[in-house]
Amino acid sequence: MRKAYILTVALFAVAFSLAFASDPDPLQDFCVALKDYSDSKSAVFVNGKFCKDPKLVKAEDFFFEGLNIAGNTDNKVGSNVTTVNVDMLAGLNTLGVSLARIDFAPYGENPPHTHPRGTEVLVVAEGTLFVGFVTSNTENRLFTKTLNKGDVFVFPVGLIHFQLNVGKTKAIAISAFSSQNAGVITIADAVFGSNPPINPDVLTKAFQLDKNVVEELQKKFEVDNY
């Protein structure tokens, strides 16, 4: 009886541990497995960053200055994102957080995009923003809200979202992310400005557009135009 009880507890413990086992979330777009460990030249990237010797860490490793400086919004969309992720602030490594300042010219927009590795929490520091996100297939439900100074809005991880300055003056927002490197995919840039370009036949059918329209959009968004 005792042996049966011990076996039952052991099996339950194994099942319980497997139920909660999972791979860690990726911290970059991909991490290809290194097959030949003797090739040290290819052993460059890891899922995150290599850790600095704790004895060599300084206060400066946890410090970033300049977020008070407005970004240049003189561009096609009228916005600028100043990102403070692990590439800019080394102390964020493994902590799972980062942030950004978003500056908007009057009627400027942070166009539809996604963050594949992080949820975004945005607070309006100045101005008025019209924001929203779209849920995944097949419902594709749109949630929108007009935000004023001090208002907060959440954009769930991976969902397409946007922010538009609906005021006649500049706007500023601060966003926090649940990843040290949340990543960003701007939809129009990725679809029509990929390098090399996506075959126009693919986009013609996907968007139900004339092929000439697709090719014109690809010229507008090609990488060289940025």
Q: Which residues fall in the annotated binding site for oxalate?
A: 110, 115, 120
Q: Please tell me the distance from the alpha carbon of residue 193 to that of residue 206, in angstroms, as a whole number.
A: 16
User: Helix or strand or coil: residue 60?
Assistant: helix
Cβ proximity of 52 and 61 under 8 Å: yes
CA-to-CA dists, residue 160 to 10, 67, 111, 123, 128, angstroms: 44, 25, 10, 18, 20
Query: What is the full DSSP assignment across 200-216?
Result: HHHHHHHHT--HHHHHH
Where in 70-200 does DSSP place strands (E)?
A: 79-84, 98-104, 109-114, 120-126, 129-134, 142-147, 152-155, 160-165, 171-177, 185-186
Q: Please tell me the distance from the alpha carbon of residue 141 to that of residue 69, in angstroms, as a whole number.
A: 36
Annotated binding site: 110, 113, 115, 120, 161
- Triad 73, 148, 122: Cα angle to 5°: 65
Annotated binding site for Mn(2+): 113, 115, 120, 161
- Please list the residues that pair with 161 across neighbouring strands: 113, 133
